[in-house]
Structure 1
Amino acid sequence: MRNTVLSYLLLPLFTSVSLSLSAAPQPIENPELTAVVEQQVVKLDLNTADVTTLQTRLSGIGKTKAEAIVAYREEHGAFATVDELLEIKGIGKALLDRNRDKLTVN
């Protein structure tokens, strides 16, 4: 009898929780809003960025690599392409690919 009473009390509780979870509103994706957010991402220009900016905005780039990027730019002139970063010691394809969508050259 004790189990029967518990089941009568718990069954409505579990049912109400289940129904409330399934009735919860689903997030609505707005493609126009997503496009606006994606457009707001400003790419970092390799030809104008300073050491601090490179260091803070790029993944896997510390102070030493940021300084190497600026030194390379000062020695060889402006970057023609983002791929030119591969010429810098310590920057490989994986690191470049991780940051490619954040970079541009103007």
Structure 2
Amino acid sequence: MHDEPLIQFNPNFEEFFMFKKLLAFFAAMFLVAAFAAVDVNKATEAELDGIKGIGPVTTKLIISERKKGEFKSWDDFVTRVKGVGDKNAAKFSAEGLTVSGATYQGPSAAPAKKANKPLTEKAKDAAVTTKDAVKGAAISTKDAVKGAAVGTKDAVKETAKDVKTAVTPKADAAKPAASAAKK
């Protein structure tokens, strides 16, 4: 039998603490990258979709409006992008979205609002949200159907080739017999 243990433990505390510091550094860098600001005027579609609360429909609206000109302020952003109100602007800003590097500070110099929106405004907001959701679903469905149609078309072409290849030798073989029968 051996008197030495199978696994030797050689504590090197200096290396252990260096590893801990390195691990802490990478964790800090990851957190900084995760909470990095995304400017609405420069962000890609993927970066906009990465902001919690912004979906594909809102992303398309933002990019569409941005093509008309950069957003000058949060007020400009909220006014031009349908479905983004003060609540959503505050949420998006909290998630890291900025407009020209600025975070959302709330509505500026806006007239005093009533405590509750009238029912008709709530219904309009709900209709816009529903319309955007349906539009997004329609776009997704259209793309899926288009992909399926292309796949089906290709499959039909392949099947037609296979059938033609299988039938052609038989037809060619029948031609000499038909010619002999005529004579």
What range describes the TM-score normalised by the shorter chain of this pair?
A: 0.5 to 0.7
How far is the alpha carbon of 1:52 from its aligned partner?
Answer: 1.9
Partner residue, 1:47: 41
Give the alignment partner of residue 88 of structure 2, picking from 85, 92, 95.
95
Give the alignment of 1:1-106 within 5 angstroms. 40=32, 41-56=35-50, 58-75=51-68, 77-87=69-79, 88-101=81-94, 102-104=96-98, 105-106=100-101
Larger Rg: 2
Higher relative contact order (CA closer than 8 Å, sequence separation 6+): 1
Contact 1:52 1:63 in 2 (8 A): no
Task: Report the TM-score, using the length of structure 2 for normalisation.
Answer: 0.34
- Which whole-Å deviations, capped at 9, do the CAs of 1:20-68 have from their partners, x for residues lacking one? xxxxxxxxxxxxx9xx77x923100111112221012x12111010010
Q: Partner amino acid for 1:83? A: D
Provide the rounded CA distance (Å) in 2 between the counterparts of 1:44 and 1:83: 17
Q: Give the equivalent residue in structure 2 for 1:4.
A: none
CA distance in 2, matches of 1:99, 1:54: 10
Contact 1:82–1:100 (8 Å) recurs in 2:
no
Alpha-carbon RMSD across the aligned residues, in angstroms, is 2.2
Q: Which amino acid aligns with 1:79?
A: F
Unaligned runs of 5+ in 1: 1-32
The one-letter amino acid of 1:50's match is: T
Query: Does the residue aligned with 1:61 lie in a helix, a strand or coil?
Result: coil
Displacement of 1:97: 0.5
Q: How many residues are treated as equivalent by the alignment?
A: 69
Identity of aligned residues (%): 25
The code of the aligned residue for 2:46 comes to T
